[in-house]
Amino acid sequence: MIDAARAIALVAMASFHTVWDLGYLRLTAENYAATRAGHMAAELIAGSFLILVGVGLVLMNGRGIRPRPTLLRLARVGGGALLVTLGTWWAFPDAYVFFGILHCIAVSSVLGLAFLFLPVLVTALAAALVLAAPYLVHAAFLDAPALLFLGLGAVTPQTNDYVPLCPWFGLVLAGIVLGRIGLPTLAGSRLGAWTPRSAPGRGIAFLGRHSLAFYLIHQPVLLAVLTGVVSVTGADPHAGLRAFRADYTKICTRTGGEPPLCRIAARCTSEALLREDLFREDGRPFTVAEQVRAHDLSQACYGVLERAQAGVATPDQKP
């Protein structure tokens, strides 16, 4: 059952990464993984993995720490974390992963050993304190690059995956509490006695038992496949449109425009650029004539804004 739960989390993670890749490669109008809902989904998925890490620590070492399997597992997870850092440093040097979920799992797996045999109440209290720490602890020195892994600084680093110890180690501790309380009951139940007999069930269990390999392989495969797709289909013509309008509105308001009217001008400009194939977020260069035309369209929309500010109705405004 633990393998199956881990497999479900893996499928959810791969689905999230697919959405992120579609946005990154501009196959969708925007990167929905980067929206508020996307961030919430990412946190729920990461949290489920870390709770399962705590449950797994109880399963593996609940009757006494087993040095050899523990060290071998740590070497695999730590090696995977190093591969992620090196791979993302090569692919995304400005936002490489220096402390992502594998790094957090590796460190938490060591720290969690100290809580396996403490009273459950003590571990639960420690979990609550770690989860609350980012809201309780504030100090300028914690923004030092060497301490970013703690997650207690005021600055959020630019990275594609950031899972600092605070608050995330708190979920590993919560998993240890859950494992110590719930595993004996689960083991004596019909659910805990479930073993896969069908091909899908065996596939799920296999996936859950090889989660690290799946984690390391799936994203390069997804990126390779979707890169091939975008090379054939091209990017979504509306990719980046929302970001363009948001930036346009922000600049417009900074220069004295009223936000509602700036949004009118932003929509006007973007729609005009789209009509004439001048809205380009794919790096295609503009000719001199295209640059002049894009400038003229933008100026015309500024005219719309000026007329609206002067009280003249525009086609975008309803009586």
**Which residues have a Cβ under 8 Å from the Cβ of 230 and sit 6 or more positions away?**
25, 26, 27
pLDDT of residue 58: 94
Domain-wise residue ranges, the chain: 2-233, 241-309
> Tens digits of per-residue pLDDT, 222-243?
999 999 998 888 877 777 778 7
pTM (2 d.p.): 0.80
pLDDT of residue 314: 44
Contact yes or no for 112/125 (Cβ under 8 A): no
* Nearest Cα to Cα of residue 104 among 140, 66, 130, 68: 130
Contact yes or no for 215/16 (Cβ under 8 A): no
pLDDT of residue 119: 95
What stretches of the chain show up as alpha helix (H) in DSSP? 2-24, 36-61, 67-91, 101-111, 120-136, 165-187, 199-209, 211-233, 241-254, 259-275, 288-309
Contact yes or no for 135/89 (Cβ under 8 A): no
Return mean pLDDT, the chain.
86
Contact yes or no for 94/158 (Cβ under 8 A): yes
> Tens digits of per-residue pLDDT, 235-286?
777 777 787 788 888 888 887 777 877 888 888 887 777 777 767 665 566 6
pLDDT of residue 277: 72
Q: 119 preceded by cis ω (within 30°)? A: no
Which tokens is 256 given? 């004295």
Which tokens is 159 given? 């990275």
pLDDT of residue 257: 73
Residues of the chain with pLDDT under 50: 312-319
